[in-house]
């Protein structure tokens, strides 16, 4: 059996006022702490080096600001190279309780999940304490993420409190995951393609009166574009490249028939309106039939997709393969997808 070694990844950018308290609260069950200074203008990394005496803490530096996703990826690579098996991502702003780390890693250790993430919407009483902008933004982004990632049973995709079994990185190109705020959602898409099991962990965020950093106006278009791109890629990978079945046909016929029905019906409605001549029953029936079939095929395809969420963790098999056969998988292998 592979011994589980837990590391914590702490991206550091403008967190000099909170990060030391975060580090002090990390439990003893964590064997390594990787703080990644993402060219922080406040010098968070230097502050940690000069102040903390915790031997578990290692500070890594980016010479230029690359984004929170890039910082987490740097931490993942460092933790993997150091022999850790599970990496917990913990923000340095004090909004995530380090005492919950054991709750996040438990499903992974029990081989019930490959990846866990926080869900701040599980407890209804917590909604009153959540900033309105963050509540509204996450509700919209959560629905878009369900479509693009395929994890219909997950919510709060932008939640940055996560735990990952590092061995599943062998199944994806880490450098292809987005570097900035789209990182968490893009990683979920990559995990789905690798058929990894993801579990939500109920949690309460600690906002402590801090203003929301989620600027909906600045990220909504990139998030919509990213989710749209990932949706079509996921459907192609899952239902045409890796497999082909009835749902594959429905994903094509549904939207096509619906669009044809809308165009046909709209065109003849306009002709009737302009000429003041009522459309024939046959014309109406053709438009209605196309629309009804399009809606039914689309709903049937989505229903199949809802039932296609991964349920069997992949990392136990990877561990068994490596222990029994001595396989060495390269983190930087070419992406075959």
CA angle, residues 153, 159, 164, in degrees to nearest 5: 80
The CA dihedral of 107, 109, 114, 116, to the nearest 10 degrees, is 40
pTM of the model: 0.87
Give the separation between CA 260 and CA 265, rounded to whole angstroms: 8
Q: 248 pLDDT band (50/70/90 cuts)?
A: very high
Which residues have C-beta within 8 Å of that of residue 189, sequence separation ≥ 6? 148, 149, 150, 230, 233, 234
CA distances from 149 to 132, 195, 196, 237 (A): 25, 11, 11, 12
Kindly write down the DSSP assignment for every residue of 255-313, as one continuous string: HHHHHHHHHHHHHHHHHHHHHT-PPPHHHHHHHHHHHHHHHHHHHHHHHHHHTTS--S-
Q: Read off the pLDDT band of 276 (50, 70, 90).
A: confident
The sign of the CA dihedral 249, 254, 257, 263 is: negative
Cα–Cα distance between 27 and 323 in angstroms, integer? 29
Instruction: Calculate the CA dihedral of residues 312, 180, 35, 96 and round it to 10 degrees.
Output: -70
- Closest to 251 measured CA to CA, from 294, 222, 216, 283: 294
Q: Please choose, from the candidates 159, 147, 164, the residue with its C-alpha nearest in 3D space to the C-alpha of residue 73.
A: 164
Task: Delimit the domains of the chain by residue range.
Answer: 6-240, 244-306
Question: What confidence tier does 332 reach under pLDDT thresholds 50, 70, 90?
Answer: very low
Q: Which of 53-67, 237-251, 306-320, 321-335 has the lowest mean pLDDT?
A: 321-335
Q: Which numeric CATH code is attached to 6-240? A: 3.90.550.10
Mean pLDDT along residues 250-273: 95
2-56 per-position pLDDT tens digit = 789 999 999 999 999 999 999 999 999 999 999 999 999 999 999 999 999 999 9
The least confident of 7-21, 104-118, 135-149, 190-204 is 135-149
For residue 28, count CB atoms less than 10 angstroms from its CB and return exposed for 0-12, middle for 13-18, buried for 19 or more: exposed
Strands (E) in 63-182, as ranges, are 86-89, 115-119, 162-165
Report the mean per-residue pLDDT for the chain: 89
Please give the pLDDT value at position 216.
55
- Over residues 118-129, mean pLDDT: 79
pLDDT classification of 334: cutoffs 50, 70, 90: very low
Q: Does the pLDDT at position 86 exceed 90?
A: yes
pLDDT at position 168 over 60? yes
The residue count for the chain: 337
* pLDDT given at position 135: 74
């Amino acid at each position: 059996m592979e011994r589980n070694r837990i590391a914590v990844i702490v991206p550091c950018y403008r967190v000099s006022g909170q990060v030391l308290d975060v580090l002090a609260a990390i439990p003893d069950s964590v064997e390594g702490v990787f703080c990644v200074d993402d060219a922080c203008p406040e010098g968070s990394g230097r502050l940690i080096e000069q102040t903390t005496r915790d031997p578990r803490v290692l500070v890594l530096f980016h010479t230029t600001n690359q984004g929170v996703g890039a910082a987490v990826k740097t931490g993942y690579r460092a933790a993997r190279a150091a022999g850790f098996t599970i990496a917990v991502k913990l923000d340095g702003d004090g909004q995530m309780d380090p005492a919950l780390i054991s709750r996040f890693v438990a499903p992974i250790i029990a081989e019930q999940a490959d990846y866990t993430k926080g869900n701040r919407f599980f407890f209804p009483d917590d909604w009153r304490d959540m900033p309105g902008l963050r509540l509204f933004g996450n509700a919209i982004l959560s629905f878009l993420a369900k479509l693009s990632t395929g994890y219909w049973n997950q919510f709060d995709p932008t939640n940055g409190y996560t735990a990952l079994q590092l061995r599943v990185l062998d199944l994806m190109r880490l450098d292809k995951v987005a570097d900035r705020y789209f990182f968490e959602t893009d990683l979920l898409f990559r995990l789905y393609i690798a058929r990894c099991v993801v579990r939500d962990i109920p949690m309460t965020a600690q906002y402590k009166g801090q203003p929301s950093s989620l600027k909906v106006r600045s990220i909504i278009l990139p998030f919509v574009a990213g989710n749209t791109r990932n949706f079509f890629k996921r459907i192609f990978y899952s239902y045409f490249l890796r497999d082909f079945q009835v749902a594959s046909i429905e994903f094509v016929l549904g939207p096509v028939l619906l669009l044809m029905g809308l165009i046909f019906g709209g065109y003849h409605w306009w002709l009737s309106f302009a000429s003041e001549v009522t459309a024939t029953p046959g014309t109406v029936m053709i438009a209605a039939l196309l629309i009804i079939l399009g809606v039914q095929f689309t709903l049937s395809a989505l229903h199949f997709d809802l039932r296609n969420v991964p349920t069997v963790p992949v990392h136990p098999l990877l561990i068994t393969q490596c222990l029994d056969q001595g396989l060495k998988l390269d983190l930087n292998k070419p992406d075959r997808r």
